[in-house]
Amino acid sequence: MTVTDFTVRAADGREVPLSDYAGRVLLIVNTASKCGFTPQYEGLEALHRRFGDRGFEVLAFPCNQFGAQEPGDAAEIAQFCSLTYDVTFPVFAKVDVNGDAAAPLFQHLKKTQKGVLGTEAIKWNFTKFLVNRTGEVVERYAPTTKPDDIADDIERLL
């Protein structure tokens, strides 16, 4: 199973097959609007603009499981991302990334690329997963990893 086998929910509620992104390098991130790492939206957008025309896409999934740092609804989140960080990459519907209600995509990401000491659980907002053109999860990055620090890894996959 690869990332492109999953279907996710767009911010407007419609189902989006990730097969729509087949053949692209993806950076999948759980995000939040009121987090200390929220300024990473700026770096994520910079990556999106730098590599987008070469087959790269950032996919953001807001999550309210860490310190209730994403309390808004889809419209509020979209407005925040657009007005504050001029985000042009897709921001999907809010998801759970841990627990029994974790989105199937994130269950797959965590199982495929474990965290520190082999843990699966996502520790905080802005955990990032890098996916190659064939839909395989090739790397997991901690929330503290700045988007710019991932640029060389993206470049290699492109």
CA atoms within 13 A on the CB side of 130: 20
Residue in 18, 28, 35, 91 annotated catalytic: 35
Residues 128, 150 contacting (CB under 8 angstroms): yes
Q: 3-class SS at 78?
A: helix
Quick check: is 81 catalytic? no
Quickly list H helices, the chain.
40-51, 74-85, 104-112, 151-157
CA–CA distance, 101 with 97 (Å, rounded to integer): 8
Q: State the DSSP string of 143-154.
A: TTS-GGGGHHHH
At 146, which amino acid appears? K
Count Cβ atoms within 10 A of the Cβ of residue 25 and give its class: 0-12 exposed, 13-18 middle, 19 or more buried. Answer: buried
Residues with catalytic function: 35
